[in-house]
Structure formats: structure tokens, C-alpha cells
Amino acid sequence: MDNFYAPGKNHLFVPGPVNIPDQVIRAMNRNNEDYRSPAIPAMTKTLLEDVKKIFKTTTGTPFLIPTTGTGAWESALTNTLSPGDRTVSFLIGQFSLLWIDQQQRLNFNVDVVESEWGQGAKLDVLESKIASDTAHTIKAICIVHNETATGVTNNLAKVRQILDSYRHPALLIVDGVSSICALDFRMDEWGVDVAITGSQKALSLPTGIGIVVASPKAIEASKTAKSLRVFFDWKDYLKFYQLGTYWPYTPSIHLLYGLRAALDLIFEEGLENVIARHNRLGTATRLAVEAWGLKNCTQKEEWHSDTVTAVVVPSYIDSSEIVRRAWKRYNLSLGLGLNKVAGKVFRIGHLGNLNELQLLGCLAGVEMILQDVGYPVKLGSGVAAASAYFKNTIPLIPSRI
């Protein structure tokens, strides 16, 4: 039942699904349960409260939908918008592209603002659109916080500032799939109206829960939004929240117990420490890339992502070959370049329940593979750069002091 066996642990460095903590694997190692017994609602109640903490919201309403990030997108859009509504959406990589495709297929009038892949969302263009939209035809700004295909993080505080300075009422809908619980994300402070993530990303669970959190304004919008939705309709959830049974249809018992354990670990480490750890891992990865003499796909420091690094390879190398060799020879899983950057970049995911020595093992592997495919990297150079940085920044493990 396990094909392609290789000795030792698999080194999982794709930007999702990510490594699951052993404690969470244990928590999910169980039989099914009746989700209508008092036990599941009692646990659900704590989950809904605690999920809000990782979104940094006190006023939002969370929905734990049995779906993926793609479904979470759809839930965010169809509950708040009506067909024909104008959205401003930023095309900066494969995942924002797919989201835009979804928006178009859902019959929204998508005003696409495109950037070169490797650049962030063009917020100056947003500003001019907002400035000129005195009629408030723009109903929503749809933006990925972190574009997983290129490793670009957008500045959400700035988006909020633009909207506020023009007192524009557009909803701010954020794809936080590869950011929330890993990057600094502040739903309430930044006035985000809908934010989503997926269980298999920074929460370090299996795929299967699309987490959608809606601001009071988004909840209000959902009452009049005319987009067709049934499975993704918040209304059904809200009805069952009121009943105290919480689930309009069957949840995954396993993912609920897994989420409980995942949140417990995050709170034990401390959310700010989790974010700081991701910053360490991201910074160290970038230092390694620099030491290798390679380019980061992300063109400016302000957009650097702490959850995924897309590394540009020289034109004489096919980056897919790097990913293939990593899996075939080193039991290392790296991310492929997608679409426009296929063959041109490979991606190192440094996201989720991961520590520094794991990353250093990965970097050492990448160095060997780079040599394998003909790039003249100095072995140990990236590891040296990364560990020099780690050495000065890794704290003692609090529980072990």
C-alpha cells in the first residue's frame, strides 16, 4: 500500500500539503464518531473560538467547510457577491490566475490587474481605480496575501489604507491559503471582510477543511448576495450555529480532532513565535539562494515570502529535472514551477510544522541536486549561509529551557 518506498523520512518541502506534527497524526488516529452526540458540538464550539485567534479577529464568523482552498474561494465569493458584480483582482501567479478564472466562471465582472510573475500586486493601479470609482461600482477587492507559485507576499495593510483613504466600501476578500498562521495576518486591524485558508497549509493538517472567516460586513452582504450557492452557503451554517449543533452536514470527525490538536500546538508555541519561526526559515532560505548565486523569483525584498521561495534556475537547466531528481534520489519533495514559470523555477516550501535542521537538510539536498544538473554550486555554501543566520536567531525551545 506504500509504493515507491525509500528508506528514512520523506523530506516534504512543497508549499502544501505540509508536514503534520506527530501529535496531530495521533489525534486523528481514531474511529468515526456520531457527530450529533454532545461531544462534537462541544469541541466545535472551542474550535470556532480558537480559529478566530489565528485570523486575529474577534468580530469575524468562522466557517469550517469540508472542502479545499478552491471551495473556500467559492464560498467567499458566492456568499458576498452577485453575478455581474465588479471585482478588482490581481494576477501575479498561478494561484491568483486560478482564482480569477473562478471569479470569471462565477460571472463576476473581473477587473484584472496583472503583474509580471515575481512581482506583487500593483497597488498603485488599485489606488487609481479606487480613486476614480466614485460610483462604487467596485464591489470587492480580491487579493492573495501570498502567491504560492512565485513566493510573493502582498501588503494588505496598504490595500486597506487605499480603501480607507477613499472611503470606498468595497469588500476586501483575501486568499490567505499560504499565509494565515504563518505570516503576519490581522483580519480586524486590516479590515479584511473575508479571509480564507486551507487545513493543509500553515495549520499542518491533511487537506479537507476550507476555513472561511467573514466580517460582520461580509455577513451582512451575504443576506443580499444573489450568487447561487447551496453547499457553500453560509446561511445553513449560521442556522446550525444557532441551534448549537453546528453542522448542516457531516463534518470530518478526524479533521476536527486534528484541528483541535493543531491549534493547541500553535498556542503552545505561541502564534507570534510561529510567525517568527517562519520568518527565520524564509530568511535563511533566501540567504542560501543568494549564496548559491541564484535568483529569487520574487523581484523585491518587500514581497519576499516567508512560506515559500521560488528559485530561478539558469536558462540551461530545466527546473522540473531538479524536482524529479530530488524525489528519485534524495527522498526530497520540492515544488514544481507552474504555468509561466514552469521549467524556470523550483519551489522550496518552508511552511507549517517545520524546524531549522529540517530546512538545512533540504538545502544540503538542493545543493547536491544543483550540481547533479550541472549548476556549479559550492556544496555547503547555502547551508553555511543559512546556519550562520540561524545560529544568531534561533531561540532556546521554551519548554526545554
- Known binding-site residue numbers for substrate: 347
Per CB under 8 A, the segment of 32-40, 119-127, 149-157, 212-220 that binds a copy of itself is 32-40
Does residue 224 touch a copy of itself according to CB under 8 A?
Answer: no
89 in helix, strand or coil?
strand
Q: Which of 162, 154, 207, 150 is nearest to 337 (CA)?
A: 150
Which run of H or E residues covers position 198? strand 194-198
Does residue 43 touch a copy of itself according to CB under 8 A?
Answer: yes
Name which position in 140, 262, 274, 345 contacts a copy of itself (CB under 8 A): 274
Mark 51-70 with x for binding to a copy of itself (rule: CB under 8 A) and - for no binding. Answer: ---------------xxxxx
Mark 153-172 with x for binding to a copy of itself (rule: CB under 8 A) and - for no binding. Answer: --------------------
Does residue 387 touch a copy of itself according to CB under 8 A?
Answer: yes
Name which position in 48, 125, 238, 364 contacts a copy of itself (CB under 8 A): 364
Which amino acids are annotated as binding site, given as ranges?
Answer: 347
Per CB under 8 A, the segment of 7-15, 133-141, 155-163, 165-173 that binds a copy of itself is 7-15
User: Quick check: 331 and 11 in contact, CB under 8 A?
Assistant: yes
Name which position in 234, 257, 292, 303 contacts a copy of itself (CB under 8 A): 257
Minimum distance from CB of 169 to a copy of itself (Å)? Answer: 26
Distance CA(302)–CA(179), nearest Å, equals 15
User: Quick check: 164 and 191 in contact, CB under 8 A?
Assistant: yes
Distance CA(78)–CA(379), nearest Å, equals 50
Under DSSP, the state recorded for 339 is G
Per CB under 8 A, the segment of 154-162, 163-171, 302-310, 367-375 that binds a copy of itself is 367-375
User: Quick check: 163 and 143 in contact, CB under 8 A?
Assistant: no
Q: Which is nearer to a copy of itself, 143 or 360 (by Cβ)?
A: 360
Minimum distance from CB of 206 to a copy of itself (Å)? Answer: 5
Does residue 275 touch a copy of itself according to CB under 8 A?
Answer: no
Name which position in 264, 290, 318, 321 contacts a copy of itself (CB under 8 A): 264
282-285 long-range contacts, Cβ below 8 Å, gap at least 24? Answer: 282/306, 282/307, 282/309, 282/350, 283/389, 284/356, 284/359, 284/363, 284/385, 284/386, 284/387, 284/389, 284/390, 285/309, 285/348, 285/350, 285/359, 285/363, 285/386
Residue where the block lists cell 448576495: 225
Name which position in 249, 302, 339, 374 contacts a copy of itself (CB under 8 A): 249
HEC readout, 90-122: EECCHHHHHHHHHHHHCCCEEEEEECCECECCC
Size, binding site for a copy of itself by CB under 8 A? 119
User: Quick check: 180 and 195 in contact, CB under 8 A?
Assistant: yes
Q: Which of 220, 228, 218, 198 is nearest to 210 (CA)?
A: 198
- The interface with a copy of itself within residues 319-348 (CB under 8 A) comprises 327-333, 335-336
Does residue 279 touch a copy of itself according to CB under 8 A?
Answer: no
User: Quick check: 91 and 100 in contact, CB under 8 A?
Assistant: yes
- The interface with a copy of itself within residues 185-214 (CB under 8 A) comprises 198, 200, 206-208
Minimum distance from CB of 301 to a copy of itself (Å)? Answer: 24
The H-assigned helical ranges of 133-252 are 156-165, 216-222, 234-243
Does residue 243 touch a copy of itself according to CB under 8 A?
Answer: no
- The interface with a copy of itself within residues 87-106 (CB under 8 A) comprises 102, 105-106
Does residue 355 touch a copy of itself according to CB under 8 A?
Answer: yes
Residue where the block lists cell 452526540: 37
User: Quick check: 19 and 339 in contact, CB under 8 A?
Assistant: no
Does residue 234 touch a copy of itself according to CB under 8 A?
Answer: no
- The interface with a copy of itself within residues 9-28 (CB under 8 A) comprises 9-12, 14, 16-23, 25-28
Q: Which is nearer to a copy of itself, 225 or 255 (by Cβ)?
A: 255
Does residue 37 touch a copy of itself according to CB under 8 A?
Answer: yes
